[in-house]
Structure formats: structure tokens, C-alpha cells
Amino acid sequence: MPADREDRMKTRIALLREMGAPRPYTDSRPIQIVEAELAPPGPGELLVRIAAAGICHSDLSVVNADRPRGMPLALGHEAAGVVVETGPGPARFQPGDHVVLVFAPSCGHCAPCAEGRPALCEPAAGAAVEGRLLTGSKAISHQGTVVNHHVGVSAFSDHVVVAEGSCVKIDPEIPLDRAALLGCAVLTGVGAVLNTGGLRMGQSCAIVGLGGVGLAGLLGAHAAGARVLIGVDPSAEKRAAALDLGAHHVFDPTDPESVAEIRALTGGGVDLAVELAGAVPALVTAYGLTRRGGTCVTAGLPNPTEKLVIPAVSLTANEVTLRGSYMGSCVPIRDIPRFAQMMMQGQLPIEKLVTHRLPLEEINAGFERLAAGLAIRQVIVFDS
């Protein structure tokens, strides 16, 4: 239950004090589960009890220092839960609402938001870099030290305080452990295929990188009616998973003949190639698979120092469209309910992506599995 408004309530958080710890994470244990203090929600904020949270490569890229953030940091960004309390003043939510948390909230007023591109919200991007909520506050402290929020969510916690813009209400009939994946894997993967890539029924599509986000994208391409659907990943296990989820063909990108074989199979390349691995070699592969006049989309987040090198003339001579996709170019308040409905109707069986369910205390083992490529999607399940 929430604490008295004069006091801070206690909650467990997954605290990262330093980035770049050596692997295996089961030995170095970079993430500590500690009891922290959580301020009550202020105006425009909510207190949410977390039910389930997914372990995503975007979390790993902070742990391994690919995407530096201010320390100390309370990790986690893909989750679903139940509203416990609203802040003072008018509120769009009420206690008992089931919500999916969104890692890119929207202010509704900046230029990208006004253009219908809330994933690019400028105040939200600034708040994320500073470790603040969209409202400007920081609600977490540990032993007298203020703790940074991870993209306004910090979901590896029993309870979180978030801005209202970081939540989307969902039907309470949707299981929360499945709904958690809607907040990142599905938004990013399915959105990259349907929104950014605009895949149409009867087109060919290749998904490069078959982790949790990549396989979610593959499910989206299957639901859209891709005529030829190709999965590309160096892991034999993940290629097998792709076939089980609807891929027509799978290829190992470490095979030097794979790009030529895919181009031959598709008569010159695919209509849409989507890179969801977060690695520059994967993006080079995806670009090489794209037919003349086709579209290549990247939603991966490689280390910021890495560079993409492609023949510049190919953009003109082949009239290829190369597009970035952040949060699947989604409008969460529109797309989360849409994808949730597809999930409940069996069109997006995202529960098949979950390979491990674990308690919060095993989070370092979960990150080691992710870093080793031994998991697709792992979900931390919290006690109700």
C-alpha cells in the first residue's frame, strides 16, 4: 500500500552503480537488488505496482556501457502493472487501471508530438538523458542519494512513480505478463515492420536479428501477410524459433553466400528488410538484402561510436529507402491497444517469445543469458 504522503514508501529496485562490468554477470553482479525510497506521485504522476517486466537488449546496452547513462540508475523499461495512486490534481487514470509502461512518453506539445510522432518527443528525450521523469522530478532515492530513472520507467522495481505520459491503459482481461512485452518488444519490432516499413500483404520481408524484438517483428510481418518471410540470425536456435513462428526461410548471415542466396530466392532482394539486432554488420546485411526500390529499416541501437559504411551511389542508383525507426514509429495510445487486440485474437502470439520467467533476485543471471544469446525474451514476474 502507498505510504503516507508525508513519507516515502519502501520498494525494491534493480540498482546499477557502474557501467561496463566484466562478464559473466553472474560473477561480477553489476546489478544490486536494494531497498530504496520512493516519493509519492506529484501532479501528473502515477504510482504503479509492477506485475511483470521484460529484460531487453536496451537494458543490456546500459549495463555494458554501449549507451551511457547517469549513475546510479534504477534499470528497466518494458513492463505492465496496476495503478495504485494518482498525484494531486486532475488525472487521466484512476487506481485499479491496468497499464503498459512506455519508454518514450509524449508531452503532446513539441514539434514531433504535434506532427504525430510522439516517439521523438523532445522534452522526453531530454528527461531520459538527465534521468528524470517527463514531469521533471526524480522520485527514487537510496541511502540519501538520488537515483536516476531509466527512460522514465525504472521497471525492475516492485513499485514505480511515472509520468502519466509513460502509461497506456489496457483492458484488464489481458494477462499482465504478456502485456509487458507490448511496451518495447512489440512496439519496436511490430511497429518497425508495420509503421516504419509499411509492409503490405503480398510483399517480401527479411528480419535480420531474431532476438525478442526481431521475432516480434517477424510475427508482425506474418500477421501482415508477407508473401516471402525470411529470418536471418547466426543462432541456429533462433532460426528454428523463427520457422516455428511463421518464417518461410532462414539463413545464417555468417555464411558468405547468404546475401546472394536470399537475393536469388527473392528475385533481386526483398521489398522490406528490417534490422533488429543492434549491430552494424546486421544493418549492412539488411541493406544488402534490399531490392532496387525497396526499403531498409533499422530499429537497432548499436554503440554510438560505430559507423555505417555503404556505397553512397547505391541510394540513388537503386532508389533504396534507408529509414530509422525509434519505438517502431508508434503512437502508443493508438498502437498498444491495437497490438493488444491482435495478440488476444492470436495474430501476435507474443507469449511464444518468452523463454524464461524469473524473480527479480535472478536478474544478473538473466542479463548473462541475454548477453550470451541464450534467451529470446525473459520476463521478471513480481509477487502480487
Query: Over the stretch 183-194, which tens digit does the pLDDT of each residue have?
Result: 999 999 999 999
Q: Does 177 lie in the same domain as 194?
A: no
Residue 4 reports pLDDT greater than 50: no
Q: Whole-angstrom Cα distance, residue 198 to residue 262? A: 21
Q: How does the average pLDDT of the chain come out, rounded?
A: 96
Q: Are 63 and 28 members of one domain?
A: yes
In a domain, 127, yes or no: yes
Whether 333 is covered by a domain: the verdict is: no
Question: Is omega for the bond preceding 24 within 30 degrees of 0, making it cis?
Answer: yes
104 and 163 in a single domain? The answer is yes
Q: How far apart are CA 240 and CA 257, in angstroms?
A: 20
Scanning the structure block, which residue is given the C-alpha cell 506532427? 115
SS3 75: coil
Residues 164 and 205 in one domain: no
One domain for residues 366 and 321? no
* Residue 342, domain member (yes or no): no
Q: Residues 213, 278: contact at Cβ < 8 Å?
A: no
Task: Please indicate, yes or no, if residue 341 is contained in any of the structural domains.
Answer: no
Cβ-contact 151, 128 below 8 angstroms: yes
Give the pLDDT of residue 3.
41
Does pLDDT of 327 surpass 90? Answer: yes
**Is it the case that residue 247 has pLDDT exceeding 70?**
yes
The single-letter code of the amino acid at 213 is V
Say if residue 30 is in the same domain as residue 158: yes
Chain segment 345-383, per-residue pLDDT in tens: 999 999 999 999 999 999 999 999 999 999 999 999 997
pLDDT at 336: 98
Proportion of the chain above pLDDT 70, given as a percent: 98
Residues 176 and 231 placed together within one structural domain of the fold: no
**Cβ neighbours for 323, distance < 8 A, ≥ 6 positions apart:** 196, 197, 295, 296, 297, 298
Do 38 and 131 lie in one domain? The reply is: yes
Per-residue model confidence (pLDDT) at position 383: 77
Residues 138 and 284 in one domain: no
Output the domain CATH number for residue 154. 3.90.180.10
Higher pLDDT, 289 or 1: 289
Instruction: Tell me: do 247 and 171 sit in the same domain.
Output: no
Specify if 337 maps to a domain.
Answer: no
Could you report the per-residue pLDDT of 267-290, keeping only the tens digit for each?
999 999 999 999 999 999 999 999
pLDDT at residue 384, as a whole number: 56
What average pLDDT does this structure show over 226-249?
98
Closest residue by Cα to residue 363 from 140, 68, 155: 155
Q: What is the pTM of this model?
A: 0.95
Look at residue 108 and tell me if it is in a domain: yes
Q: What is the model's pLDDT at position 181?
A: 98
Asked whether residue 338 is assigned to any structural domain, the reply reads: no
Q: Look up the domain containing 134 and give its range.
A: 9-183+349-381
The CATH number for 224's domain is 3.40.50.720
pLDDT for the residue 7:
73
- pLDDT of 323 reads 98
258 and 293 in a single domain? The answer is yes
* Range 31-35 average pLDDT: 98
Across 41-67, average pLDDT = 96
Task: Give the count of domains, the chain.
Answer: 2
Span 216-234, average pLDDT: 98
Confidence of residue 142 (pLDDT cuts 50, 70, 90): very high
Q: For 143-180, what is each residue's pLDDT tens digit?
A: 999 999 999 999 999 999 999 999 999 999 999 999 99
Is 171 part of a structural domain of the chain?
yes
Based on the fold, state whether residues 40 and 165 are members of the same structural domain. Answer: yes
Section 27-46 average pLDDT: 98
